[in-house]
Structure 1
Amino acid sequence: MIITGLLCGALLGFVMQRGRFCLTGGFRDMYIAKNNRMFYALLIAIAVQSVGVFLLIDLGVFEYSAGSISIVSVIIGSFVFGIGIILAGGCATGTWYRAGEGLIGSWIALAGYMLMSTIMKSGVLASFNQQAQQSAVFPTNSIAETFGINHWIIIIPFVVIVALIVYKQLTKPKVVIPALKPKRTGLAHILFEKRWHPFVTATLIGVIALIAWPLSAATGRVFGLGITTPSANILQYLTTGDKGFINWGVFLVLGIFAGSFIAAKASKEFRFRMPDVKTGINSFIGGNLMGVGASLAGGCSIGNGLVMTAMMTWQGWIGLIFMILGTWTASYFVFVRPRQKAKAAKLKEQVTPA
């Protein structure tokens, strides 16, 4: 039943909103603040999903083939997508869940993202997108198949490395921050008031990503979480009326919005926030770049960065690397360079005689 997509998406949107799971901020902080915590959280979600999905595959619940990879298209697309999410203020999933919080800038970014994804997949740029993905094709996308080894030979060491990273992070001396007196008690405090640990949030996201596989496969869509194609499908349905575009993935992304809205309202974090003109323009440009990049790369921060990495594919890990490089490049021009110029101008004023 495709309605399970709505339930899965609502759960994902709820968890992401309450856990403030933002890959855009996480990738940016790796460069600007030298803080890798959110990246480590992503690795946890990947590890949880990878173990679960390959167990299901080995048990014969469903079959999956990673297929081939267009390396150049993935590299360029992921880099462009990384630039786009900095300008948009959120990645594909982050844009959906922040729109559910009432952030108008995310609505603007989402409009650009859906529009350009549609143009790239079935519009005037569809032939360009297809040609790009058919160039420089490497026949084997699976890392394990490339080296002729069992997938567990890759998964088990990866899980061990992630476990060691988590242990090291959790055993670091903690800075004690005085907690505010809770206004709620019991489950309500935990769900809607208490600050969620990013590693707990990541574990829950990994479980949801795992559940998405059999639920989606039951409808004939053998894949996990995905944002770009379903987002384009919504606009394709609205403009053509073709019910063939309504699928499990469409219900998934709509569920993310609904789940985030519920979480934001219950935690009293929902409010409409209008961006200034510059931010609004950047959001729309960023959304368009996200649509172009994700279409070329065959996935976004979730499709490639979470799902295809868990499937231990070249597409996932190469895409993740260049996505991060794209965010760092954009972060330099959007955040670092302006600060450097402002600092230099201030120093010049201080040394210039009146």
Structure 2
Amino acid sequence: MLFVDPWLLSLFNLGIGMFLGSILFRSDFCMAGILRDVFLFGDRTLLNALFLAVILTMFLFLLGRLFGLLAVDPLPTFGPPSLTGLLGGLLFGVGMVLAGGCVVSTLYKMAGGNLAHGLAFVGIIVGSLLYAEVHPFFKVAESLTSLSEAVTLFRVWPRAAEAAVWLLAGGAGL
């Protein structure tokens, strides 16, 4: 079986990564770029691709849950919403703007030979290492600034996924 042998699994993952990387490189698909184009220039060209990716992901996760391949509850690494999460999201967004793209676009642009994105990748590594040192502080701050006990919107409102699919499908003009 393919996923039992670690070498075959590594080769399979490398092949998938190269395939997806070439598609992302050729299409210049970047979350930060899509949102930048919408808000700064009013260009909604790639917004339909983003909506399609979100809807396809939701549908595939739904199928995975229906066939028992994925658990209904979220992974234990998910935490409840908190003010530290909001601050972290804001800092992450600022970092994407300063880096000139999202993490995925930084990887494929770096692989394409862009030196600026190579430096941004070094910044990602250094930032991750620095965060590892202050993680215990943020766990305490997260527990003190928690906004809700519900980890996902699905736990607050069970039909949220259905409503999100309909809203996204309508927004994408599908």
Bucket of the pairwise TM-score, normalised by the shorter protein: 0.7 to 0.9
Shift of 1:35: 2.0
Distance (whole Å) between structure 2 residues aligned to residue 97 and residue 25 of structure 1: 14
Does residue 130 in structure 1 map to residue 136 in structure 2?
A: no
The residue aligned with 2:31 is 23
Among 150, 158, 164, the alignment partner of 1:158 is 164
Q: Determine which of 104, 107, 116 is the counterpart of 2:118.
A: 107
CA contact (8 A) 1:23 1:39 kept: no
Contact kept? 2:48, 2:172, Cα under 8 Å: yes
For residue 9 of structure 1, what is the aligned residue in structure 2? 17
1:42 maps to 2:50: yes
- Any residues of structure 2 matched to 1:305-324 within 5 Å, and which? none
> What secondary structure, in the 3-state scheme, does the structure 1 residue paired with 2:137 have?
helix
- Alpha-carbon distance, 1:106 to partner: 0.4
User: Match for residue 130 of structure 2?
Assistant: 119
Verify the 8 A CA contact 1:95 1:109 in the aligned structure 2.
yes
Match of 1:102, SS state, is coil
The DSSP-based 3-state class of the residue aligned with 1:90 is coil
Greater displacement, 112-121 / 96-105: 112-121
User: What displacement does 1:55 show?
Assistant: 1.6
Tell me whether 48-57 or 100-109 shows the greater mean CA deviation: 48-57
Match of 2:151 among 131, 136, 141: 141
Counterpart position of 2:6: none
C-alpha distance in 2 between matches for 1:144 and 1:64: 10
Pair 70,101 (structure 1): closer, same or farther in 2 beyond 3 Å:
same
Measured in 2, the distance between the counterparts of 1:141 and 1:49 equals: 19
AA aligned opposite 1:163:
A
Task: Report if aligned partners of 1:120, 1:129 keep a CA contact under 8 Å in 2.
Answer: no
CA contact (8 A) 1:23 1:91 kept: yes
Q: Could you tell me which residue of structure 1 aligns to residue 69 of structure 2?
A: 61
User: Counterpart of 2:151 in structure 1: which amino acid?
Assistant: N
Structure 1 pair 132–94 and aligned structure 2 pair: CA distance change class (3 A): farther
Question: Are 2:61 and 2:70, in contact at CA under 8 Å, matched by a contact in 1?
Answer: no
State the one-letter code of the partner of 1:32.
L
Instruction: Classify 1:61/1:16 alpha carbon distance in 2 versus 1 (closer, same or farther; 3 Å).
Output: same
Any idea what SS the aligned residue of 2:29 has?
Answer: coil
Which residues in structure 2 correspond to 1:1-354 (within 5 Å)?
1=3, 2-3=9-10, 4-66=12-74, 67-121=78-132, 124-137=133-146, 138-147=148-157, 149=158, 153-167=159-173
Q: CA deviation at 1:115?
A: 1.2
Q: CA deviation at 1:83?
A: 1.0
TM-score by length of 1: 0.42
Q: CA deviation at 1:112?
A: 0.8
Q: Supply the distance in 2 between the matched residues of 1:156 and 1:130 (Cα, whole angstroms).
A: 32
Superposition misfits of 4+ residues, deviation over 6 angstroms:
none
SS of the residue 2:118 aligns to: helix
RMSD value, Cα: 2.1
Larger RCO: 1 or 2 (CA < 8 Å, sep 6+): 1
Gap change, CA 1:154 and 1:127, over 3 Å in 2: closer
Counterpart residue type for residue 158 of structure 1 = A
Asked if the contact 1:24/1:90 (under 8 Å) is kept, the reply is: yes
1:64 deviates by 4.7
Alignment deviations for residues 49-107 of structure 1 (CA, whole Å, 9 cap, x no partner): 11111221122113252253242122111111111111111111110011011000000
Contact 1:57-1:63 within 8 A present in 2 as well: yes
